[in-house]
Amino acid sequence: MSTALSNPQKRYLRGLAHDLKPIVQVGAKGVTPAVLAELDAALEQHELIKVRVAAGDRDEREAWIGALVEGGDAALAGRIGHVAILYRRRKDKPFVILPRG
């Protein structure tokens, strides 16, 4: 994503994502082209999603989340354990309005 999110914007997005269930899951094979395609479709439809990453250790999980953010052209709004919250503004008719930050 070309612009980074400010802390108030991240806090706002985490609040919106609180009741969401993970839509995309990354399994033992890691971040594959199929996972990135699913991530792209989910971000285009929902704008704000949760992703569950089933990595063995913390370093691997951080690398996979970084690959998802970069591959999906998204912003990381937050992460808790194995779940990351990703945001990418929709090209047509965005419905998440970020506060000024």
Domain range for 18:
7-86
Question: Is the pLDDT at 41 greater than 50, yes or no?
Answer: yes
Q: Is residue 101 part of a domain?
A: no
Q: How many domains does the chain have?
A: 1
In whole angstroms, give the CA distance from residue 99 to residue 54: 32
Q: Is residue 91 part of a domain?
A: no
Q: Is the pLDDT of residue 28 over 70?
A: yes
Is 98 within a domain? no
Whether 93 maps to a domain, the answer reads: no
Q: What is the mean pLDDT of residues 58-84?
A: 95
Looking only at the bridges linking them, the beta strands covering 48-53 and 22-26 are: parallel
In a domain, 97, yes or no: no
Asked whether the predicted pLDDT for residue 2 surpasses 60, the reply is no
* Cα-only R_g, the chain: 13
- The answer to whether residue 94 is domain-embedded is no
Which CATH number is 50's domain given?
Answer: 3.30.110.60
